[in-house]
Amino acid sequence: MKVVILAAGQGTRLRPLTDHCPKCMVEVNGKSIIERQLDTMRSCGIKESDITVVAGYCSDVLEEHLKDTGIRVVVNQDFERTNMVCSLMCARETMETEEDILVSYGDIIYGENVLRKILDADGGISVIVDDGWYGYWSERCENPLDDAETLMYDKEDYLTEIGQKTDDLGKVQSQYIGLMRFTGDGLKDMLDICDKAKERTACGEKLWRTERGYDKMYMTDLLQGMIDEGCKLKAVHIERGWYEIDDCEDLKVVEREL
């Protein structure tokens, strides 16, 4: 297995903590987000030489931090005008030569039990979903539906919808956390859908369920596109055990609970 950590974002909502370092290097109770992720990966047997970090904002700071670890750093030079999918494609060379890729957002913290759930998952495409999301979202914002997005799955646990804004709690059966795995044909399908999205944008065509073009695609736009193209995305269920650090209020929540 190879790992790709997406850590190119600017983390503007965490300023001034991100004035001089990338979001993934913000410290949570004295240890950075990226180091907490790497500790979890090491504990599950993942080698540092199998990890690629996609940097962008303050990439020189992150490269210096990781220079003696054996971790590969690639840089999204267009991080200011692009989004998650373009960052992921910066690691395309690695993904095209491998059969098993774990993708993790760079601004989340998760425990060993969460990571092992996806390492043990079967199927070509696996996506971690948190069934205990509502209580956590209630701590993060006054109305959880202001920030939560749709996530629905069928009776066989295959995703049918993800990443759409909603005011219907019934359409949020669980919540996406930013941790997923692509293997074999599932990995090939993901790369093919990325190519198709790029082609559609170049031709002026609308993507699946978003007005965003290829450069601005979120990962959930890509996953929804895969669903709509007939790919099978398996929901891997957890009950908490992770945190997202998107702004200073999120940081207060995680530091209080960890």
Query: For 18-61, how does the pLDDT look when each residue is reduced to its tens digit (9 = 90+)?
Result: 999 999 999 999 999 999 999 999 999 999 999 999 999 999 99
Per DSSP, 139 falls in state: H
Per the CB < 8 A criterion, the answer to whether 257 and 243 are in contact is yes
pLDDT in tens, 55-105: 999 999 999 999 999 999 999 999 999 999 999 999 999 999 999 999 999
Is 90 exceeded by the pLDDT of residue 147?
no
Residue 44's domain comprises 2-257
Q: What is the mean pLDDT of the chain?
A: 95
- When pLDDT is cut at 50, 70 and 90, the band that residue 218 belongs to is very high
Q: What percent of the chain has pLDDT over 70?
A: 100
d(Cα 108, Cα 37) in Å, to the nearest integer?
8
Q: How far is CA 234 from CA 98, 124, 127, 195, in A?
A: 20, 8, 6, 22
State the CATH number of the domain containing residue 13. 3.90.550.10
- pLDDT: which is higher, 123 or 237: 237
Domain count, the chain: 1
Query: What would the pLDDT profile of 156-200 be if each residue is shown by its tens digit?
Result: 999 999 999 999 999 999 999 999 999 999 999 999 999 999 999
- Binned at pLDDT 50, 70 and 90, residue 151 comes out as very high
Rounded CA gap, 75 and 58, in Å? 10
Q: What is this structure's pTM?
A: 0.96
Confidence check: pLDDT of 142 > 90: no
Mean pLDDT of 141-153: 91
